[in-house]
Amino acid sequence: MKPLPSPHIPGHDFATIAQVLLISDELGTYTALDDMLRHAVALARDRLKLERVAIFLRDDKEGLMRGTFGTGLRGETVDERWHAHPVTPTQCDALRQLAPQGMLWNYDEDVELQVVRPRRRLIVGRGWRTTTPLLAAGRVVGVMYADAALSGSAFDAEKQAHAALLCGSLANLVYAKRAVLTGDSSGGSGQPTRVGDHRRSDDGGDCASFQSYRRCRDYLEEHYLSLRNLADFAKACHLTQTYLCRLFHRYEGCSPYKRLLRLKMGHAASLLRDPAVSVKRAGLEVGFDDPHHFSKAFKQVLGVPPTSLRDRA
């Protein structure tokens, strides 16, 4: 493979870096490994604007990279847990040595690009492809593949750098979850748990309260722009505010309103990447009529005022 040096991430691109931090924070809230990986694929496309991604996890015992979730022909998230390909210790060691060499990913030019299906492969053209290792505790726990097979667009080193940042966080989350699932403090290095084979959490993945939490969390992720406060959220979920808070504190470790603010401010940060969008307009888009209130909430969540992303009122 041909490695491409990782670029410096410019300081003025704080909005996208903030998105990486918010995505990492969101992924950490998922109890099930499957859910986390599926959402990682979707969020990498939706928020980091990667066209096609697929995440594979390493199975040491069988010498395989096992598929989890990827991107289909229509840009949708597809289940690829049936798919796997061989990987040797030498190949993994080469990926592990990228960082000491100043690299964050492997870059291949003019390779055959495919969409995998059970019992067949669809060839969709030729183009570039990156392989970004998921490194945790000095080990390769998986890889993220990315390409532009759907549009044939040129390689964007800045987007790939943001993807590499996300892979760093994702690797640590995978490593920690495997350690819990296998009861192995080494992160399941002896025999990693396959995706889809996870145990239920101590809170009871099938219990009514956990299912209520997941229903509310999914609703929030889809409708956060239209929700203005905790009362709106509780009403939409047909729950009392007290019970909704109890669910989020139990399964997410924070209040539902804090989660709502994170989603709103992440969206606002994305809007502020556009020079045509003022701070006032970004605030209105996420439900804040008062620019001062919006700026205060933005700084509370992201640590900087919105004017630091766009020097205009």
Task: Say which CATH number the domain at 252 has.
Answer: 1.10.10.60
* Model pLDDT, residue 290: 93
* Model pLDDT, residue 147: 95
* Model pLDDT, residue 199: 36
Alpha carbon distances (Å) from 110 to 3, 26, 121: 14, 35, 18
User: Are residues 170 and 37 part of one domain?
Assistant: yes
User: Are residues 214 and 131 part of one domain?
Assistant: no
User: Are residues 115 and 254 part of one domain?
Assistant: no
Q: Which domain holds residue 174?
A: 2-182
User: Are residues 296 and 176 part of one domain?
Assistant: no
- Separation between Cα atoms, residue 300 and residue 24, nearest integer Å: 18
* Model pLDDT, residue 181: 58
* Helices H / strands E in the chain, number of each: 10, 8
* Model pLDDT, residue 5: 45
Task: Say which CATH number the domain at 165 has.
Answer: 3.30.450.40
What angle do the packed helices 14-27 and 157-182 form, to 10 degrees?
20
Paired tokens of 103:
């690299």
User: Are residues 65 and 24 part of one domain?
Assistant: yes
Paired tokens of 105:
């990913």
**pLDDT tens, the chain, 313 aa long:** 454 444 444 444 566 777 888 888 888 888 788 889 999 999 999 888 899 999 999 998 889 999 999 988 888 888 898 888 899 999 999 999 998 888 899 999 999 888 777 666 777 788 999 999 999 988 999 999 999 988 889 999 989 999 999 999 999 999 988 876 555 544 444 444 445 444 334 444 447 788 888 899 889 988 999 999 999 999 999 999 999 999 888 877 778 998 898 888 888 887 887 888 899 999 999 999 999 999 998 888 777 788 877 644 3
Core vs surface per residue 230-251: b (16+ CB within 10 A) or e: beebbeebebeeeebbebbeeb
* Model pLDDT, residue 293: 93
187 in a domain, yes or no? no
310 in a domain, yes or no? no
Three-class SS state of 229: coil
110 in a domain, yes or no? yes
- Separation between Cα atoms, residue 187 and residue 48, nearest integer Å: 28
Residues paired with residue 104 on neighbouring β-strands, in sequence order: none
User: Are residues 212 and 97 part of one domain?
Assistant: no
Distance of CA 110 to the CA centre of its chain: 27
173 in a domain, yes or no? yes
User: Are residues 213 and 102 part of one domain?
Assistant: no
* Model pLDDT, residue 262: 84
- Total residues found in the chain within this entry: 313
Distance of CA 73 to the CA centre of its chain: 20
What is the domain count for the chain?
Answer: 2
User: Are residues 95 and 38 part of one domain?
Assistant: yes
